[in-house]
Amino acid sequence: MSAALELEELVFAWPGHAPVLDIARFRLEAGERVFLHGASGSGKSTLLALLTGIASPQAGSIRLLERPFSTLAASARDQFRADHIGYVFQQFNLLPYLDLLDNVLLPCRFSARRRQQAGDVRRTAQALLAELDLADPALHRRPVNTLSVGQQQRVALARALIGAPELLIADEPTSALDGERRQAFIDLLLRLAARHGSSVVFVSHDATLAAHFDRTVALADLNAARPEADHA
Amino acid sequence: MLELALKSLANRKLTAALAILTVALSVLLLIGVERLRSEARASFANTVAGTDLIVGARTGSVQLLLYSVFRVGNASNNIGWDSYQALRQDPRIAWTIPVSLGDSHRGFAVLGTTGDYFRHLRYGDAQPLTFAAGKPFSGVHDAVLGAEVARRLGYQPGDRLVLTHGSGEGALSEHEDQPFTVSGILASTGTPVDDTVHVSLAGLEAIHAGWESGSASLLAQSGLLAEGVSADAQPESITAFYVGLKSRSQLFAVQRTISDYADEPLLAILPGVALSELWALLRVAEQALLVVGGLVVVVGLFGMLAALLTGLNERRREMAILRATGARPRHIFTLLMGETVALVSAGILLGMGLLYLLLFACRPVLRTVYGLHIGIAAPSATEWLLLALVLAAGALSGLIPAWRAYRSALADGLTLRV
């Protein structure tokens, strides 16, 4: 089985501070869906910055899709992220000046690979939205900030998955949703990720969401460093 | 990226509109100043293009030029009719046009002259005067109107008009006893000719008979005096005369002859030279205006910059979203640059639009009040250069927000600042 993500002897410190991350080893299999449990202050944000190539570690390595990632130049990491990683934020995922469809199509603007894999980008986007119960064309014309939070998060999910990126990273995507819709959203995310063949790293402080995942990892167990809260 | 930049701008309509307006107004001022400057020069140069010398009483050459051709100010002294008669006989002279100024008609200057005016006067690119309607004056009380006079006052050949003694605010006494009849209307020239009522010298003599004191005597009011004036009545003096030479190589020799004329102190000027003197006088003011215009553009760009920089902090979420969906820092840089260039371009377009609107609206005022004939022409090479400089300065100033956004996009990464 091939790996989607491998961390090896990873050490990261913000300049002038003690290390916030010290991870000996972590591996995510291709197609695997992992729940990464991290309380605030556990180095969660820093890890996400490393996984998306915004920052690079002082020691150790990150390999994505069995290719070196953390050792690439910043611009190459950016390109890699654009091509292979879908990302969902906690909330406010959408650009208010683009309509729903254009928001979904954003990654196709920046990645030729995602554009190519999506084929007919508009139809692919519409199909994705339909799967997320957002098929109504009237919705597509509405300003995105008039959509409900749940709808916005689903649009963000469609955007993260367009062009079938190999890795989907979700950073507390359900924190703005209430209990029932939280479960529904996670079900939807996992089902779609499976259909599009994306591995999932789902980060949350809420351990009750872990039930649906293949595996649960606590960042506190993984991380040998004891980060200060202000940089987490 | 440009599409994103435009959509992002459209989302911040008020800020964008204000920034565009700031740039537009500064462009309007800068190009407006340049336009007025060059149009004034072209208009003045066109007017005197066909005249070799202008002769008047001894005064400053700029002053002579201004009152004899552009009806600005008044003659301090006239020149004697006999001096004119003596000088025009010079064999080196091809033609002369006597002009006598001082009266007005509803704000337009009245110019007494002879038929030679219509035969010899040239303007612009050596174009002769042509009649849009009617013919030159033949009777004592005939008048030929400039195109603008006829258009503004709605006169047709055959209409009658009354001249006013003197000109300007204080001109109140009318030559009511001797109305003139419009015999012809000239085609438009874009020079002060358009704003002039032309009558014969004899006509001016006739209406001023009995007015030696400066107002109408009882005898003059009776109308009896007018009967006695024949079509070839000669005035005692004229304001100035224009000279055309047979050969321009004689220019300085003839000028010297006139200046040395023994019976009366006279001044002969080369209109082109006098014009350059005028522009030399105005150069400091012109340059000051251009500098002010340039500074206003700089201030405008700073205003735009302030708005863009203030907005950047609120847009960090936007940048993070773009980064998360694959935008690289250089995309962010391009986005911000695109925004600035779009704003400045829109400002330039709006400013030019406003300029043309304003020129169109102010043309009549500039014309009647200042004697400036402003054409509505495409931007000149200088103006294109100025506009290119504005755009370049705008793009240059755009580097600042673009660089800042680039730096913070690198530092923030995907961190959402809510």
ipTM of the complex: 0.86
Examine the domain organization and report whether B135 and B226 are in the same domain: yes
Q: How confident is the model at residue B100 (pLDDT cuts 50, 70, 90)?
A: very high
- B417 in a domain, yes or no? no
Nearest to residue A159, comparing CAs of A90, A83, A101? A101
Domain boundary among the residues B257, B277, B297 is at: B277
- Asked if the C-beta of A23 comes within 8 angstroms of chain B's C-beta atoms, the answer is no
Average pLDDT, chain B: 85
Region for A101 from its dihedrals, namely left if φ exceeds 0, alpha if ψ lies in -120 to 50, beta otherwise: alpha
> Which residues make Cβ contacts (< 8 Å) with residue A105, sequence separation at least 6?
A121, A122, A125, A159, A162
Cα dihedral B20, B24, B30, B31 sign: positive
> Which residues make Cβ contacts (< 8 Å) with residue B417, sequence separation at least 6?
B316, B317, B320
Q: Tell me chain A's radius of gyration from C-alpha atoms.
A: 17
Average pLDDT, chain A: 85
- B375 in a domain, yes or no? yes
Name the least confident of A10-14, A39-43, B53-57, B147-151: A39-43
Examine the domain organization and report whether B167 and B182 are in the same domain: yes
DSSP string, B58-69: SS-HHHHHHHHH
Residue B74 and residue B68 in contact, taking contact as beta carbons nearer than 8 Å? no
* Model confidence pLDDT, tens digit, residues B361-403: 988 777 766 667 777 888 888 899 999 999 999 999 999 999 8
- Asked if the C-beta of B408 comes within 8 angstroms of chain A's C-beta atoms, the answer is no
pLDDT of residue B330: 86
Domain boundary among the residues B219, B249, B277 is at: B277
Nearest to residue B279, comparing CAs of B287, B270, B290? B287
In chain B, which residue's Cα lies nearest the Cα of A50? Answer: B413
> Class assignment of domain A3-95+159-231?
alpha beta
pLDDT of residue B211: 64
Q: How confident is the model at residue A230 (pLDDT cuts 50, 70, 90)?
A: very low
Both tokens of residue B183? 């015999």
Nearest to residue A50, comparing CAs of B403, B415, B322? B415
Count of domains for chain B? 2
Q: How far apart are CA B402 and CA B5, in angstroms?
A: 12
In chain B, which residue's Cα lies nearest the Cα of A107? Answer: B325
Examine the domain organization and report whether B303 and B186 are in the same domain: no
- B292 in a domain, yes or no? yes
Examine the domain organization and report whether B175 and B59 are in the same domain: yes
Q: How confident is the model at residue B219 (pLDDT cuts 50, 70, 90)?
A: low
Examine the domain organization and report whether B205 and B190 are in the same domain: yes
Question: Inter-chain contact A110–B317, Cβ cutoff 8 Å?
Answer: no
Percentage of the residues of chain A whose pLDDT score is greater than 90? 7
Residue span of the structural domain in which B301 resides: 2-44+283-412
Across the interface, of B328, B414, B416, the residue whose CB is closest to A52 is B414
pLDDT of residue B215: 60
- Asked if the C-beta of A165 comes within 8 angstroms of chain B's C-beta atoms, the answer is no
Examine the domain organization and report whether B186 and B294 are in the same domain: no
Residue B53 and residue B268 in contact, taking contact as beta carbons nearer than 8 Å? yes
Question: Inter-chain contact B11–A55, Cβ cutoff 8 Å?
Answer: no
- Asked if the C-beta of B2 comes within 8 angstroms of chain A's C-beta atoms, the answer is no
Examine the domain organization and report whether B287 and B326 are in the same domain: yes
Name the least confident of A36-50, B125-139, B336-350: A36-50
* Model confidence pLDDT, tens digit, residues A35-49: 998 887 778 888 888
pLDDT of residue B221: 55
- A97 chain-B contacts, CB cut-off 8 A: 7-8, 10-11
Both tokens of residue B103? 């009266």
Q: How far apart are CA B29 and CA B355, in angstroms?
A: 8
Cα distances from B62 to residues B276, B365, B368, in angstroms, run: 9, 24, 21
Question: Inter-chain contact B414–A89, Cβ cutoff 8 Å?
Answer: yes
The residue type at B249: S
* Model confidence pLDDT, tens digit, residues B229-256: 555 667 888 999 999 999 888 889 999 9
- B321 chain-A contacts, CB cut-off 8 A: 89, 92-95, 106
Q: How confident is the model at residue B224 (pLDDT cuts 50, 70, 90)?
A: low
Which A positions 41-100 lie with beta carbon below 8 A of chain B? 45, 48-49, 52, 54-55, 74-75, 78-79, 81-83, 87, 89-98
Examine the domain organization and report whether B385 and B242 are in the same domain: no
User: Is pLDDT above 90 for B183?
Assistant: yes
Examine the domain organization and report whether B368 and B407 are in the same domain: yes
pLDDT of residue B220: 55
* Model confidence pLDDT, tens digit, residues A133-178: 888 887 877 788 888 888 888 889 999 989 889 999 998 888 888 8
On the CB side of A190, CA atoms within 13 Å amount to 17
In a 3-state reduction of DSSP, which class is residue B144? strand
Examine the domain organization and report whether B218 and B160 are in the same domain: yes
User: Is pLDDT above 80 for B418?
Assistant: no
Counting one residue from A and one from B, how many pairs have CB atoms under 8 Å apart?
Answer: 71
Examine the domain organization and report whether B9 and B72 are in the same domain: no
Q: Tell me chain B's radius of gyration from C-alpha atoms.
A: 30
- B418 in a domain, yes or no? no
* Model confidence pLDDT, tens digit, residues A81-98: 899 999 888 877 888 888
pLDDT of residue B231: 54
Read off the pLDDT of each residue in B164-171 and give the average, rounded to a whole number: 69
- Asked if the C-beta of B26 comes within 8 angstroms of chain A's C-beta atoms, the answer is no
Question: Inter-chain contact B415–A45, Cβ cutoff 8 Å?
Answer: yes
Both tokens of residue A91? 């909330």
Examine the domain organization and report whether B193 and B246 are in the same domain: yes
